[in-house]
Amino acid sequence: MMNNPNMKKVLTSRQEIMDFIGISQYLFKKFIKLGMPVLYLNGRCLAHKDNIDDFFRSITRVSVKNVPDEILNKDDDNKPI
């Protein structure tokens, strides 16, 4: 394996994980409860980027046919479209 910082696959803190995903601490806690693969060891959070990607691929692999119109009619900031 090459020793290239751009090739770093292991995230070694809660902040690195949140930055990688682009989420807040509130959402981090929500995703942990949903089963996001994060190891908590000696007071540190550790995660592999590929496992995080796989987790989001699996939880977003859903049918949208049952999504309420209320959700479909709002943008990402929860404003009506």
What per-residue confidence (pLDDT) applies to 1?
A: 44
Instruction: Say if strands 39-41 and 10-11 run parallel, antiparallel, or are unpaired.
Output: unpaired
Tell me whether residue 81 is in a domain: no
CA–CA gap between residue 15 and residue 45 (Å, rounded): 9
Give 18-57 pLDDT, tens digit per residue: 999 999 999 999 999 999 999 999 999 999 999 999 999 9
Is the pLDDT score of 79 beyond 80? no
Based on the structure, what is the number of domains in the chain? 1
Determine the structural domain holding residue 14 and report its residue range: 10-72
Tell me whether residue 65 is in a domain: yes
β-pair partners for 47: 11
